[in-house]
Amino acid sequence: MPIKIEHIAIAVTDMDASLAFWRDALGLTFTGIEQVPAEESEIAFLETDNAHIELVRPTTDSSGIARYIDKKGPGMHHICLGVADIEAAMRQIADAGFELINETPRTRDNGTRYAFVHPKSTGGVLVELYEPAAS
């Protein structure tokens, strides 16, 4: 199962202040902001040479990202691993005895599919599996 780091997600409370560092001070290429109603969040996308950085801000007080920030504060939220076959990756992880948060992959508007591995199974790191949409 070939795996690559797709992105690192950072939970933020102030998108403008966060962009001032990641985009303006570091000079990362900003490619836009997407509203993600299914996750009750907005995501700013930034590019590095070999992976992406996502700044994730909650749009409701009850979203998963809002609960995360309330519990742990802003900062590193998850690491996302790109996979070619998300169902195979999920089966491999489950068969090895690790807990998935999602029983089936979720699908973004652009066709990208994703699922999460519970951090209690990974030594405290939330891991997202990510199968890019077919081009």
Mean pLDDT, residues 112-125: 94
Q: Decide if pLDDT at 61 tops 90.
A: yes
16 near 95, Cβ under 8 Å?
Answer: no
| pLDDT attached to residue 108 | 86
Per cent of the chain over pLDDT 90 is 89
- Domain residue extents for the chain: 3-131
pLDDT tens for each residue of 83-108: 999 999 999 999 999 999 999 999 98
Instruction: Assign domain 3-131 one CATH number from 3.10.180.10, 3.60.10.10, 2.40.33.10, 3.40.50.1260.
Output: 3.10.180.10
What is the value of pTM for the model shown? 0.87
Residue in 28, 26, 60, 61 with CA at minimum distance from that of residue 44: 28
Whether the predicted pLDDT of 1 surpasses 90: no
**Token pair for 92:** 């491999």
